[in-house]
Amino acid sequence: MIYIILSVFCSVTVAVLLKLAKRYEISIIQAVTVNYFTALCLCFVFFKPNISAVNSSAPWPIYIGLAILLPSIFLVLAASVKKLGIVKTDIAQRLSLFIPVVAAYFIFREDFNSYKLIGLAIGFLAIFFTFFRKSEETANSNNWLYPILVFVGFGVIDVLFKQIALFKTLPYTTSLFTVFCLAFLVSLVIVIIMIVTKKTKLQLVNLACGLILGLFNFGNILFYLKAHQALAQNPTTVFAAMNLGVIVVGSLIGIIIFKEKLTRLNYAGIIFALVAIVFITISQLHAVR
* Contact between 284 and 234 (Cβ < 8 Å): yes
Whole-angstrom distance, CA of residue 122 vs CA of residue 124: 6
For the segment 168-223, what is each residue's pLDDT rounded down to a tens digit?
Answer: 888 878 888 999 899 999 999 989 998 888 777 888 889 999 999 999 988 887 78
Please, which pLDDT band fits residue 287 given cuts at 50, 70 and 90?
A: low
Model confidence pLDDT, tens digit, residues 54-63: 888 889 999 9
pLDDT for 64 beyond 80? yes
pLDDT for the residue numbered 134: 56
At residue 24, the 3 state secondary structure works out as: coil
**Predicted confidence band at 41 (pLDDT cuts at 50, 70, 90)?**
very high
Give the orientation angle of helix 86-95 with respect to helix 235-256, to 10 degrees: 160
In the chain, how many domains are there? 1
- How many secondary structure helices (H) and strands (E) does the chain include? 11, 0
DSSP letter, residue 221: H
Confidence at 138, pLDDT banded by 50, 70, 90: very low
| Residue 26 to residues 31, 129, 198, 215, Cα–Cα distance (Å) | 8, 31, 16, 17
What burial class does residue 44 get, using C-beta atoms within 10 Å of its C-beta: 0-12 exposed, 13-18 middle, 19+ buried?
Answer: middle
One-letter amino acid at 166 equals L
Give the whole-angstrom CA distance, residue 196 versus residue 162. 37
Q: What is the pLDDT of residues 209-247, one digit of tens each?
A: 999 999 998 888 778 778 877 877 766 677 677 777 877
Cα gap 187→238, rounded to integer Å: 28
Tally the residues of the chain.
Answer: 289
Which residue range is the domain that position 211 belongs to?
2-287
Residues 6+ apart with CB under 8 A from 4: 223, 227, 238, 241, 242, 245
Rounded distance between C-alpha atoms, residue 90 and residue 80, angstroms: 10
